Amino acid sequence: MYPWLNGTFRQLAQRAQRNSLHHALLVQGPSGIGKTFFCDALTKSLLCKKQENEPCGTCQSCQLFNAQSHPDLHRIASDKQLGVDLVREAIQKLTSTAHLSGNKVLIIERADSMTESAANALLKTLEEPTGDTYLFLISAHPERLLPTIISRCEKVNISAPSFDECKQWLSSQNIAGVTDDIIRIYGHCPLTIISQLENQQSTNYADFCHSMEEMKRGKMSALVLAEKWQKESDQIVLWLQYELRQIAAANIHNSLFWQIENKLKLATVSLQNPGVNRILVLTGLLLDYQKL
């Protein structure tokens, strides 16, 4: 168990042991902090035949879980939007009797990506769950969920570790390339940091900062910089947000800062549209940044 998850996990595992765990949990928090790992660990405890605070790891249920073949664990996971058919199929499985005469669990990853029809299909199960059934909805953007879904779940807030906790844990894992800037840019989210380092984003960030300096000195235009980095547009917005936070700390009364911050928030949304002109969006942001 990741150390920053321990406290919350113990509380819920103890409630599960006392049969006082809410049947539907909305596990929410930023990406890259282990929400899915958290739900998997809690599920393993719920399915374990010994029903202790920690799963035994040796019973038939634990062995099936470890083999990723437990018949009473159902999961909806997709990088795409979650449609109604996926949800209905999972709900149908939940209505069947448990294969191992114990609990049944449905984990929905990226629950905020459910279509409205899918969310509505889930509502009845949330309102009238079958016995010994648990639903875990995982979300990094709970504000995108229908209010009716949120109101029927118990919220479990998972926070990123502090800067020092994150840095210490990454050091204990012998993760190379970690810098203070990288930890702050990715919001102290350890798993995101590891993923970004594997994708050489630490090097990319340093290169981007160099390109920004070239632009400030007039050796590179905003358009050329945008063309160079268009494939990393999401990262560029994140890096610019970090740079702006650094500027704000020194000069928080700069009105232009707040204008650019709002534009960055809008860019975060618009860049999710496959048809958006990324070069145009980035060029506009970089031209504004030049004025600071």
What pLDDT score does 269 carry?
87
pLDDT of residue 24: 96
- pLDDT at position 53, please? 66
The pTM of this model reads: 0.84
What pLDDT does residue 199 have? 81
Residue 250 to residue 273: CA distance in whole angstroms: 34
What is residue 250's predicted lDDT score, i.e. its pLDDT?
A: 66
Rounded average pLDDT per 10-residue block, the chain, 292 residues: 95 91 96 97 91 81 94 93 94 87 93 95 88 94 95 97 97 92 94 89 83 91 94 90 80 74 90 91 92 79
Report the 3 state secondary structure along the chain. Answer: CCHHHHHHHHHHHHHHHCCCCCCEEEEECCCCCCHHHHHHHHHHHHHCCCCCCCCCCCCHHHHHHHCCCCCCEEEECCCCCECHHHHHHHHHHHCCCCCCCCCEEEEECCHHHECHHHHHHHHHHHHCCCCCEEEEEEECCHHHCCHHHHHCCEEEECCCCCHHHHHHHHHHCCCCCCCHHHHHHCCCCHHHHHHHHHCCHHHHHHHHHHHHHHHHCCCCCHHHHHHHHHHHHHHHHHHHHHHHHHHHHHCCCCHHHHHHHHHHHHHHHHCCCCCCCHHHHHHHHHHHHHCC
Distance CA 133, CA 58 (A): 23
**Predicted local confidence at residue 253, as pLDDT:** 62
